[in-house]
Structures are given as C-alpha cells and as structure tokens.
Amino acid sequence: MADRADLVVIGAGTIGGWASVFARSSGLASVVVVERGLSGMGASSRAAGIVRAQGGTPATVALGRWTIDFYRGQLSAYGTDSGFLELGYLILAVTDEDERAGRERVAMQRANGLEVEWLDAARAAATAVTLSPDGHRGGSYIATDGAIDPPRNVRAYSLAMQAAGVQLRERTTFTGLRTTPLPGGGARVVAVETDRGMIETERVLLTGGPSLRGVGRAAGLRIPAGAARHTVAVLEPHPAFDVPRMPMVFDIGAGLYWRLEEGGLLFGWSDPDEQPGEARSIDWAAYDRARSRLAGFVPLTRELGLRRIWAATIDYTPDHLPIVGPALTPAGERIDGVTVASAGGHGMMWGPGVARVAADLVATGRTELIDVADLGLDRFDAEGRSRLASDPIALPFPLRAE
C-alpha cells in the first residue's frame, strides 16, 4: 500500500508542529510531520521564550498580537499551554537616535492598534524596579508582552499534534522532493523522499529553523536562511527578583535582553560580530561583555553568581523578517504545492502566527492574518539580499545568510 498524506510537514519545531495542528483543523485529513531528530530538538526547545507584540513593521505587530492571543487561548482550545506569563516589556533607548527611532516605532505600533507608550527614564526605572534610572533615555513599554516556557511549548504542540491525529515520524530525514513538470512551465510536487522511504503528497510545508537552508537545498531551492550562535544565561536568585511580575527589558542597540526566571534573572544576547555557523561553544569574552553591560543597567547583578548558561543555534533571515510563501527554484519557477516557512529567529513571538499563515496558505492558498505579498522568497536576489528594509527591532544577527 502506498504511503500517502494530504500534507507532509518537514521539521517538528514550533512552526512545523503548530502548522500541522492548524492544517488538521483546516480540514486536511492526513498530516505527516517528518523530523530528522526528536520533536523540538532544534531551536524551539532552547529559546529564551521572549514574546512581544512590539514589532518593527505592521506585519510583525500583527503576528505578535495574534501569537499572544493564541498563547492566552491555548488552555481552552487544547487543554494544555505554553506557559505564557504576562510580564510587560520595556524596549530601551540609549542614544538620541534610539529615542527618535523608538518614538517613531511607537507611533507605527499605535496606528496598528497596539496600546504601547513611551516612558521617560524615571518612569522606566520605576516600572522595571531593578533598572537604574541612569544610562538610558527610557523606552517603549506595553504591559501585555511576556514570556513562554519553550520546553513547555514543545510539549504543548506535541500533545496537540497527538490529539489532532497528526502522524509524527521522528528520526526520519527529508532528502528531496519528487515533482512532475507542468505544461506551461514550472512543476508540481507529487511526493516527498526521506531516508525511510517515499510519501506521496500534493502538499508540502518546508520548515527547519537554523537548518532551513539545508532543507531548501535538499528540495532544490535556494533559501537564504542563516544560523548563528545565540547565548542565554541565568543568574542566581535575589530577593529583588522574588516578585510575581517585573517587565522584561531589551537594550536594543547591544542586542541584550533580560527577564525574571525562577527568582533569578535570565539574560540573552546576540553578538553583532558573530559569524554565521552552528553554535558549538560558549564565547566567555562575549559573556563578560554582556554581564558588564547588564550590570550598568541592573547594578545588583554585579554580585550574583551564574546558575545556568547555554549557547544554541538560532535561525535568522537577512532582513530578520519571516519567510512565508511558495517554493521558488533558483531559476524563479514555482513548485506548486510547496510552501516555505520561517520565523527568522523570532519563533516564540511569531511562531504560532507564522504557522497559522503557513497552514492557511497550504490549505486554501490565502490568509487573512497578514499581507504575505512581501514575505516570500521572491524578495531575495541571487545573493540572498532582500529588497525590504531590515526589521528595525530585531537582535543584531549577521546580515548575510552564508
């Protein structure tokens, strides 16, 4: 009997996992997820869990808002959740230029329905109580941003996949597509090849997070998706952090953010000079720099010991915006039935939204959530340069995917 599915999803991270659940609820009867390792073992289990609707473009504001609403509604929809906790988020301005760009961003966000406000330095310090009033110019703030628990999110989508009847095939590697040429040019997918055999299908969703470039290569596509080291550390508890709620803070210029974690402080950073590639070790010199910058903002961290640290490989796109749209060959021809999805390093804050958009495109060819016209692979040139301006609020990832 032929192995066949209405949809084959490559990758069981937060994008592939949630997209498979959404595709089932959109009416696709048989959905198979092919995962080369174990569910969640890519970036999705290793993230810091920061979730914000404070995006840099109207589309990313919409994705963040949709995703927060989704996290809030999970328990009633799925009987499980990703542990979303509303903490508030303060995005600091340090320079004149930060403040100008920040105030402009707030105006755009407010025009897109987000109740974000600008706090001066004194109000910012009074709101994020351990923050020094010096060394910054205040920032944008909204009370409804927050954080999820990334391993719990993996558990949540894994349980939801099981309940929805999605077939998860772990330890199975996607190796290529089988296509048939179309009379007017281009091709249509007819099957997915894996190291454990072929699955006939007319619909494929390619995800892969930091490995999306390789997934694309196996499919005969050129996807300018990158991978780089990103580091997260947790400092030991302190009575000042023993509070139910304290806003998360982002020092946007330095790519440094922090939030409460079990009575201690979790902080993470992307080194602007990081070279693309897989994370294999901790850069202790970068850790020292991040700690010293953090101590300038939160002086009491100077006395705190390190409790936990990890470096993992984060996904990014050259313009730091999501990719969601049809597969295109290097010659620019569509492969009908194949959709590509990436949250471009923001899978906790945009992931379920990107997954919803991808599932909509797979099931019906359109989506109401955002305008996807600009978010496809056709925005990149042959060298992977985007024709869009970079998301102004992203971490400082490398600018090229190679």
Ligand X SMILES: Cc1cc2nc3c(=O)[nH]c(=O)nc-3n(C[C@H](O)[C@H](O)[C@H](O)COP(=O)(O)OP(=O)(O)OC[C@H]3O[C@@H](n4cnc5c(N)ncnc54)[C@H](O)[C@@H]3O)c2cc1C
HEC profile for 107-169? HHHHHCCCCCEEECHHHHHHHCCCCCCCCCCCEEEECCCEECCHHHHHHHHHHHHHHHCCEEE
Nearest residue to 78 via CA among 160, 155, 161: 160
Q: Which stretch binds ligand X (CB under 6 A): 184-192, 321-329, 342-350, 383-391?
A: 342-350
Look at the block and give the residue holding tokens 């099931």: 363
Nearest residue to 91 via CA among 290, 314, 259: 259
Strands across the sheet containing 85-86: 50-51, 146-147, 85-86
HEC profile for 287-346? HHHHHHHHHHHCHHHHHCCEEEEEEEEEEECCCCCCEEEEEECCCCCEEEEEEEEECCCC
State in angstroms the smallest separation of the CB of 93 from ligand X: 20
Q: Which of 55, 208, 226, 352 binds ligand X (CB under 6 A)?
A: 208
Phi-psi region of 316 (alpha: psi -120 to 50; beta: other; left: phi over 0): beta
Q: Which of 24, 346, 356, 379 binds ligand X (CB under 6 A)?
A: 346
Binding to ligand X, residues 221-240 (CB under 6 A): 230, 232
Q: Interface with ligand X includes 31 (CB under 6 A)? A: no
When the beta carbons of 125 and 221 are compared against ligand X, the nearer one is 221
When the beta carbons of 16 and 139 are compared against ligand X, the nearer one is 16
Q: Which stretch binds ligand X (CB under 6 A): 35-43, 96-104, 113-121, 281-289?
A: 35-43
Q: Interface with ligand X includes 347 (CB under 6 A)? A: yes
**Residue 249 tokens, joined:** 């803070």
**Residue 158 tokens, joined:** 């894994």
Whether 340 and 223 have beta carbons less than 8 Å apart is answered as: yes
How many residues belong to the site for ligand X (CB under 6 A)? 45
**Residue 128 tokens, joined:** 């994020």
Q: Interface with ligand X includes 312 (CB under 6 A)? A: yes
Q: Interface with ligand X includes 211 (CB under 6 A)? A: yes
Q: Which stretch binds ligand X (CB under 6 A): 11-19, 78-86, 103-111, 239-247?
A: 11-19
Q: Interface with ligand X includes 324 (CB under 6 A)? A: no
What is the Cα–Cα distance from 300 to 238, expressed in whole angstroms?
Answer: 9
Q: Which of 7, 22, 28, 49 binds ligand X (CB under 6 A)?
A: 49
Q: Interface with ligand X includes 87 (CB under 6 A)? A: no
What is the Cα–Cα distance from 318 to 321, expressed in whole angstroms?
Answer: 8
When the beta carbons of 158 and 179 are compared against ligand X, the nearer one is 158
Q: Which stretch binds ligand X (CB under 6 A): 122-130, 240-248, 299-307, 309-317?
A: 309-317
Q: Interface with ligand X includes 216 (CB under 6 A)? A: no
Binding to ligand X, residues 166-185 (CB under 6 A): 173-174
Q: Which residues bind ligand X (CB under 6 A)?
A: 10-16, 34-37, 41-44, 46-50, 173-174, 207-211, 214-215, 218, 230, 232, 268, 312-315, 342-343, 345-349, 351
